[in-house]
Amino acid sequence: MHHMESQRQAIRDTWGSVSTLGTWPGSTEKFSIKLLFVLGVSKNQSLNIAVSKEAEERGDLIIAGFDESYYNLTRKVLMGFKWISEFCTTAKYVMKVDEDTYLNIPKFVTLMNSRKWDNLIYGPYFVTSPVDRGGKYMVPKEAYPIVVYPPHVK
């Protein structure tokens, strides 16, 4: 089992288990939640074969037709939304979560039911933050010449 598959399995075994069980341990609340993972294609063919096998066995992988890389994260998110708009037309809510996030499903559902969520984005709000010009999160001046980002949700 490779690192990313073990992260996906950890999610399936913990908070993601409600997608198959329909319940949360210690709760009588019933949940109708679909858990999906969006992946790009690896440069490692044996990894692609393992992912294809996992996709067949689990049925919860969406494999997008571009390289799996941090720099394709925006494309991956958009691909997930496109897939949902085509195949999950009755979904009431859609949420994108990173693989290193633990989601408390009952608290999340209570939050979702507590207000109207049409056309809202929820997350930490940053009025301003500097643009990184080096390192993993580096954005070149050619791509974004301004030194700070505008207000945004991260």
pLDDT tens-digit map of 47-71: 999 999 999 999 999 999 898 888 8
- What pLDDT score was predicted for residue 133? 94
Task: Round to whole Å and give the CA distance between 19 and 32.
Answer: 7
Distances (CA, A) of 11 to 64, 104, 122, 133: 20, 12, 21, 33
Task: Round to whole Å and give the CA distance between 23 and 63.
Answer: 27
Is residue 34 within 8 Å of residue 27, measured between CB atoms?
no
Residue 78 CA, chain-centre distance (Å), reads 10
84-112 per-position pLDDT tens digit: 999 999 988 888 888 888 988 888 888 88
Between 15 and 31, the higher pLDDT residue: 15
- What pLDDT score was predicted for residue 53? 94
User: Cβ of 131: how many Cβ atoms within 10 Å?
Assistant: 16
- What pLDDT score was predicted for residue 151? 93
Helix (H) or strand (E) segment spanning residue 107: helix 105-113
- What pLDDT score was predicted for residue 154? 78
- What pLDDT score was predicted for residue 1? 64
Query: What's the token pair of residue 44?
Result: 């490692």
Mean pLDDT of the chain: 88
- Residues of the chain above pLDDT 90, percent: 52
| Residue 36, C-beta contacts closer than 8 angstroms, at least 6 positions apart | 60, 61, 62, 80, 83, 84
